Amino acid sequence: MENIPAKLEQFYEGKAKKLYSTSDPDLVIAYFKDDATAFNAKKRGTIEDKGVINNRMSELFFTLLERNGVPTHFVQRLNDREMLCKRLEIIPVELVVRNIVAGSMAKRLGREEGEPLKRPVVEYYYKSDPLDDPLINADHALVFGWATPAELRTIDTLALKVNEVLSRFLDERGILLVDFKLEFGRHHGAILLGDEICPDTCRFWDKQTREKLDKDRFRRDLGNVEGAYQEMLRRVEA
């Protein structure tokens, strides 16, 4: 983009990012923080340079996805910690796509972490901090008007496409894409993929050693958190 709009006031602060308005009402600037939280912010910490890594990794993934036909909010990375994005009206339904049992699925359903799923499983969660993002189904999303039937069909299809593209890309770099979370939003009538795609929002395991290279190292106090984020960026940039 030739003329970068001016950064104006902060209008939102989430757990991992701050959002700023710009002189273009259609564009916002996301600032990536080093703050790390888990269990809906009951656990807090800092992961050094996480913001820089997540900004860069999201740029690489969004660019890859755009090339493969997934529309995203990404416009361009502005600097180490800032990304220019299209302004979204966020759909309050988070999608989790799973290829291997882990995390809350293992716990909720009493399955062993690491069990491969015979096909990807898509789950919906209602985006609500006061309620700790509860698991919901499509009927909940429709009946409470969080998304229309057409929107749900679109985000389902896009989420599975993201899974295909990222799984293949990561497999070539020796990484298993275990599961990940996506958020979508509306922008002038289009549905765009939003938020970020990084070790905070995905589970990445080394294909050979099954070493965890994502935020589970922070959630579960496994140590070498920064090293895992750096290693993932190195693999994705390769």
**Which residues of the shown chain bind ligand TMP in the complex (CB under 6 A)?**
96, 102-105, 133, 179-181, 200-203
Quick one: residue 133, left, alpha or beta (phi over 0 = left, psi -120 to 50 = alpha)? Answer: left
By beta carbon distance, the residue nearest ligand TMP is 103
- In whole angstroms, what is the distance from residue 126 CA to residue 143 CA? 13
Beta carbon nearer to ligand TMP, 82 or 200: 200
> Which residues fall within 8 angstroms of residue 159, CB to CB, at 6 or more apart?
95, 97, 122, 182
Beta carbon nearer to ligand TMP, 27 or 155: 155
> Which residues fall within 8 angstroms of residue 2, CB to CB, at 6 or more apart?
none
CB of 97 to ligand TMP, least distance (A): 9
CB of 196 to ligand TMP, least distance (A): 9
Beta carbon nearer to ligand TMP, 22 or 73: 73
CB of 119 to ligand TMP, least distance (A): 17
CB of 62 to ligand TMP, least distance (A): 16
Contact 81, 32 (CB under 8 A): yes
**CA 152, 158, 159 angle in degrees (round to 5)?**
85
Beta carbon nearer to ligand TMP, 63 or 104: 104
> Which residues fall within 8 angstroms of residue 108, CB to CB, at 6 or more apart?
135
Beta carbon nearer to ligand TMP, 27 or 216: 216
CB of 102 to ligand TMP, least distance (A): 6
